Structure 1
Amino acid sequence: MRIRPAAPGDLPALQDIERAAGAPFRDVGMPEIADDEPPSLGMLERYRSAGRCWVAADGPDRPAGYLLAEPVDGALHIEQVSVHPRAARRGVGRALIEHAAGRARAEGLTALTLTTFAEVPWNAPYYARLGFRVLDPDELPDGLRRVVAEEAEVGLARWPRVCMRRAVPPPVS
């Protein structure tokens, strides 16, 4: 897999990845998440044009996963990371997150943050294995509080969710 910035022509494939990656939520009693629409092409283009959308591409340069991020509270906040089931369990998500950590470091940001489902095995438990820790609600800075409120407005608070953070050490000089 090669991590690269998303190209305009990749965006419909990212929607397909999101749909496919959402399907397993049906098996854990979350059909609303499985049936949720992927990010719009307009939203994906906003992240892409801002340099905040990366894809993991396979041999024929076909996207197998993607990550969207934006700076929030001095950290690079992972808005979405999704991997197509055909590429699952091959380190694609980990590679995308490590790429994001490198980008954060290069931009002088001190951490990666994300919000995720607390009890879904490929969500919070997975991120914990990658070095993220759950933040207590009283630790949330204003930007993450805003993210949590926006997620609640669209119904994500229906299931237990957590905010997680992983420090990004400065470059070794």
Structure 2
Amino acid sequence: MEIRPARPEELPALQAIEVASGEPFREFGMPDIADDDPMPLDALRHLHVWVAAHPQPIAWVAVEPVDGYAHVEQISVDPAFARRGIGAALLDHVERWATARGLHGLTLTTFRDIPWNGPYYERLGFREVTALTPGLERIMNAEAERGLDRADRVCLRRVPGTGV
């Protein structure tokens, strides 16, 4: 498996991976999340996007700097390749990228209690952000405007070498 920047012609395939990776939400009783539209191509073009390729993309992560951290906007793994450490490898890659650019670590927002969301990221060293920065507050507000209940969401941070 190779982790590399996404190529422009691969972006539509990344949307398909995102749609497929949302299917477990349907089984968890969240069909509205499973049916959510994938990230628009225009948004993907303006983010830092890496793929895990084998040899075609099987997973991807999209990131943008927010308040001194690399904020993970989306990470998706093709369900056929799930539970193999690919998502963790992508996050480790983003952390190295962030560190090389002087960013403090990673942030992301996710569902607090979904096993493959909040608890998964906590196992990878992410911890809850209790005082949101202005950028993270904007992200949480935008999610709420899209219909995501803030009570179900959590903002997490991972700082290299500290686990917080």
Q: Which residue of structure 1 lines up, in the alignment, with residue 158 of structure 2?
A: 166
Structure 1 counterpart SS, 2:36: coil
The 1-side partners of 2:84 and 2:99 are apart by 25
What CA RMSD, in Å, does the superposition of the two structures yield over aligned residues?
1.1
The 2-side partners of 1:159 and 1:62 are apart by 37
The 1-side partners of 2:113 and 2:69 are apart by 24
1:37 counterpart letter in structure 2? D
Q: Say whether 1:57 aligns with 2:53.
A: yes
TM-score of the two chains, using structure 1 as the length reference: 0.90
Deviation at 1:97, TM superposition (A): 0.2
Structure 2 counterpart SS, 1:69: strand
TM-score of the two chains, using structure 2 as the length reference: 0.95
Aligned pairs, how many?
A: 161
Q: Which residue of structure 2 lines up, in the alignment, with residue 29 of structure 1?
A: 29
Residue correspondence of structure 1 range 1-173 to structure 2 within 5 A: 1-47=1-47, 52-58=48-54, 61-136=55-130, 139-157=131-149, 160-169=152-161
Q: Residue deviations 1:133-170, cap 9 Å, x none?
A: 0122xx1111100110011111112660100001025x
2:52 counterpart letter in structure 1? A
1:9 counterpart letter in structure 2? E
> Unaligned regions of 5+ residues in structure 2, if any?
none
Deviation at 1:65, TM superposition (A): 0.5
Identity %: 55
Deviation at 1:46, TM superposition (A): 2.0
